[in-house]
Amino acid sequence: MRKNDIKHILKALFDEPLSSIDLLVNREKEIDSLNMVCSLQPAGVYGVCGETGVGKTTVLNFVKPDEGERIYLKLTEKESKEAIIADMLYKLAVEVKKSKTTELLKIAKQVIDFVVEERSETSSFGTAGGVFVTGNLSKSTTRTKKFNIYQAYELFDEFLEALLKKYNKVVLLIDELDKEKKEEVLVILDSLKTVFGKDGLVVILSLPFAIYREYVRDRLRWNESGNLENILKDTFFIEPLDDKQIQQMISKRLMAYPDYFDGDALYEIARYSDGNPRDALWISQQIVQSNLDNERITGQIARETIKKIVKRYFENSWELTDLQKKVLRIVADHQGSRSAIVKELEKRNVKRQTAYTYINRLKEAGLIIERDEKLRVSGKIFYMISL
């Protein structure tokens, strides 16, 4: 295939958040729900949850409130709670400066100066130290200046009040919190509960999948409220795509090259991805780059290429026992309910309790996936045990 065509195909399969609604697959419901929240709810903090790579940033890109000011923040500083809150504050000020609204520029500059000075001094003090030498022994001392988190809260609060005074309603979208551990995110959300609790302010955050599970548990409690229920008004779970939707996603991106992947090749890509768009795009690009001379990718080519790629990247990541391999092969062949898989294993002389134990451990390790009460082997492992 010509180099120029390959470049266009790889660009179409490049993993980045979407901005064209024509390329969306099965995300309209979540986007409509979030836009309804922005339009109708007076205030509140809301979460967008899901696995990494499932498309949370894409969903946030299409949140377009019909009133008020939309502000999108992408967090980058993640080493501590203080760093994350400082990053929120700094990015908010930078975004507000772009509007060049006179009454907000003064406080935006004040916020930027505060964060830069505090972060610089914290880093400087953190690396400063003295060394004392006595005989053959040396001892170093380090002084640390803590980030002034209380002043940060005050500035954040003042800044948001100024924005609400100007726009009446503000929709604040905060992305990348989903990359942090659940416990750390809970601490951050709890600390900002008062700052975000303002009439006219709607905050939507991308959050880890574990937060969704905990939020649902809190909501199910009878006559008692959990911590998350006191912070979040609601959460929206971004489901993985099914195999047909993954195939549709790839096909939409390759409208200019509709025959490049045949139907069987698309099936193999979907099988590998486990419904994760990022994994589907990554393996698609790997297949393209491994078969530059092919005008068309068939199912056979895709399957053999995926096996080679899986072997290269993952062969040394998992050391499976014979019994683990047996359980995985049974799950791969039958893809049924947990009880049905256990019965199949019992037919092969695996004790019932042992079967349940191995299924649970492999599921916890991510090698077995359970969806709609059916077990299946994860895509990477499926091709590993097929080698």
**Cα four-point dihedral sign 272, 276, 280, 283:** negative
Q: From first to last of the 387 residues of the chain, give the pLDDT tens digit.
A: 899 999 999 999 999 999 899 999 999 999 999 999 999 999 999 999 999 999 999 999 999 999 999 999 999 998 889 999 999 999 999 999 988 788 899 999 999 999 999 877 655 545 444 444 445 544 444 444 568 899 999 999 999 999 999 999 999 999 999 988 888 999 999 999 999 999 999 999 999 988 888 887 777 665 555 567 788 999 999 999 999 999 999 999 999 999 999 999 999 999 999 999 999 999 999 999 999 999 999 999 999 999 999 999 887 777 889 999 999 999 999 989 999 999 999 999 999 999 999 999 999 999 999 988 899 999 999 998 886
| CA–CA distance, 83 with 119 (Å, rounded to integer) | 8
The CATH fold assigned to 3-11+243-314 is Helicase, Ruva Protein; domain 3 (1.10.8)
Output b/e per residue, 216-230; b: 16+ Cβ within 10 A.
Answer: eebeeeeeeeeebbe
What is the spatial distance between Cα 73 and Cα 111, in angstroms, rounded to a whole number? Answer: 15
Closest CA to 16 of 282, 314, 308, 299: 282
User: Is 3.40.50 the CATH classification of the domain at 27-129+142-237?
Assistant: yes
- Domain extent listing, the chain: 3-11+243-314, 27-129+142-237, 322-384
230 half-sphere exposure, CB direction, 13 A CA radius? 11
Residues 3 and 282 sit within 8 Å (Cβ to Cβ): no
User: Which ranges of the chain would DSSP assign to H, the alpha helix?
Assistant: 3-12, 28-40, 56-61, 81-99, 102-127, 149-167, 182-191, 193-196, 209-220, 227-231, 243-253, 263-273, 277-290, 299-314, 322-334, 338-347, 352-364, 379-384
Long-range interactions of 137-140: CB distance < 8 A, separation 24+? none
CATH class of 322-384: mainly alpha
Predicted TM-score (pTM) of this structure:
0.87
* Residue listed under structure tokens 């975004």: 95
